[in-house]
Chain A
Amino acid sequence: MSYEAEISRTNPSLVVFMIDQSRSMSHKIPGSDNSKAREAADAINRQIGEFIGRCTKADGIRDYFYISVIGYGFRAGTAQAILRGEPVQPISALANNPLRTEKRVTKVSDGEGGLIDVDYELGIWFDPVAASDTPMVHALKFARDLVKDWVEKRPDTYPPIVINISDGQATDGDPTDLAKEIMNIASTDGNTLLWNCHVSSSPGTPITFPSSEEGLPEDKYARILFDISSPLPEQYMGYAREMSYNISEGARSYVYNAQLEQLIQFIDIGTRGPSGQMQ
């Protein structure tokens, strides 16, 4: 079985987020008053905070995860790591070096089945940008190099997961070959996972974890993204079903026309696999 390696300080795992920073990301996402860029940045920042929470113990933070965030389209034809510091960072470095923290209120259990409000600090590691074109191929090259280097150095790692959030088609070529190259980089525990989240500006019906191209719109780009999304491993099918998604055999790690709810749930499901393997 794949996707069962234990994640520990001696055998950590890599999570790569790729975020489209093209101009059209400034449009609102259905389900929110905010732009796609804002909601995608919030979702990734929150997820980094979740990883930090899971790795935090009484004596400090344990480096079970290394994180990279690759932005593309903040400048024409450009993709690069956008977190302050190294392109790939241990979770402890992120915990100790956020851009800033913001006071927020969240709800926690009151111990009697209800919820109460408590203060907490939301970590921010990068701000939203919506500026130029969609050089997804450049971003995939960057991700491929990170993943390849990671797996060569740690052949028994829980397979890296690359989560790509975009609202449009690549403006620098066909991403298919590079994406397949990434999905074929394998550790002894399985192939690298490539997840694609297509975020939408229109309130059309989202198509989540499709198992075939049938049902996707007659849109070449939607089919390319389907083709370059990893088959959903069995464990992840379980997580998706827990969130009431109707999953068929052959489902791909892909959502088309995601609105805010699907965006957040997609990232949550994608990161639950590695979180569940923490030692």
Chain B
Amino acid sequence: MTSVRYLSVPKVGNRPNENEDSFAFSEDRGIFAVSDGASDSSFAGQWARALTATFSEIGGVHESGDFMTLVKRSREIWKKSVEWGALPWFVKNKVTGGAYATFLGVHVNTSLYEFTVTFVGDSCLFHLDESGYTVYPNMKPEDFKFNPKLIWSGYGYPSLEKVSPIKIEASISRRKWKNGDSFILATDAMSKWLLEDDPMEKMASLIEGFDTFGEKVDQLRKEKTMRNDDVTVMLVNP
């Protein structure tokens, strides 16, 4: 029986409903996803939620055609989630350019002992097995300073009817896993922290202390060893 534990907290100073990270899962179907809405775009939290919910609804992504379906359906949900006409003038100015988000989704097949990981940007999947860990995408701590790849919602008001091409391509990988393996899905601030210094020890401390890890995040932020950002992490034991 697959177990899932998760934590999603806003950056210090923001309220929980201002968290622009999103996550979704269906342990019965082996579906897990996180997304990080880009805070300098508009309605980014809604866009991140549209992506994770759609990933769960369509049963994951296994090929590039599925990814196009994910983006198209998510765009429809995002557009319906906003009351465009009621927005004040300065919000309308900003929504024209649409919203952006990173995305990481995993489908774990418990019959074939395979998993398929799909990612755009710097949210990371850590696959832990008896020999260590593998991270998707293959990031190093210093890579997090660059602008990540992002999925675009398409234009917002007043350009909703303009054609919004889907240019971005996701990386999709299929790998094997074994009994006893674990998966950690994390948005960028947590991923970067995990990869710095001693990743194996940090992952062990995350797994052992998961239930109180929210307090640990507060402490790490105060020490400035973790960036003050929305943090989402999900631990999956299939």
B165 with A95: CB separation less than 8 A: no
Checking B14, B90, B97 against A108 with a beta-carbon cut-off of 8 angstroms, the contacting residue is: B97
B159 with A118: CB separation less than 8 A: yes
Residues of A with Cβ closer than 8 Å to B?
6, 8-10, 49, 52-54, 56-61, 95-96, 101, 108-112, 116, 118-121, 123, 279
A54-B40, A119-B158 known; A49+B165 contact, CB < 8 A: no
Supplied contacts A61-B90, A109-B97, 18 more A-B pairs, CB within 8 Å: A8-B13, A10-B13, A53-B93, A53-B94, A57-B18, A57-B39, A57-B42, A58-B42, A58-B43, A101-B89, A111-B152, A111-B154, A111-B164, A111-B167, A120-B92, A279-B11, A279-B13, A279-B228
24 A–B contact pairs at CB < 8 A? A6-B228, A52-B90, A53-B93, A53-B94, A54-B40, A56-B90, A57-B39, A58-B44, A60-B91, A108-B159, A109-B97, A111-B154, A111-B167, A112-B165, A116-B159, A116-B162, A118-B96, A118-B158, A118-B159, A119-B158, A120-B92, A121-B90, A279-B12, A279-B13
Interfacial residues of chain B within 142-169, with CB under 8 A of chain A in the complex? 152, 154-155, 158-159, 162, 164-167
In the assembled complex, the CB of A10 is this many whole angstroms from the nearest CB of chain B, namely 6
The 10 tightest CB contacts between A and B, nearest first, are A8-B13, A121-B89, A58-B43, A95-B90, A120-B93, A111-B165, A52-B90, A56-B94, A118-B96, A118-B159
Contact partners of A10 in chain B: CB under 8 A:
13
Whole-angstrom distance between the alpha carbons of A201 and B162 in the complex?
Answer: 43
Whole-angstrom distance between the alpha carbons of A123 and B45 in the complex?
Answer: 26
A121 with B92: CB separation less than 8 A: yes
Residue ID in chain A nearest B89 by CB atoms: A121
B96 with A108: CB separation less than 8 A: yes
Residues of B with Cβ closer than 8 Å to A?
11-14, 17-18, 39-40, 42-46, 82, 88-94, 96-97, 152, 154-155, 158-159, 162, 164-167, 228
B97 with A112: CB separation less than 8 A: no
In the assembled complex, the CB of A48 is this many whole angstroms from the nearest CB of chain B, namely 10
Whole-angstrom distance between the alpha carbons of A9 and B167 in the complex?
Answer: 36
Contact partners of A52 in chain B: CB under 8 A:
90
In the assembled complex, the CB of B8 is this many whole angstroms from the nearest CB of chain A, namely 17
Contact partners of A49 in chain B: CB under 8 A:
90, 93
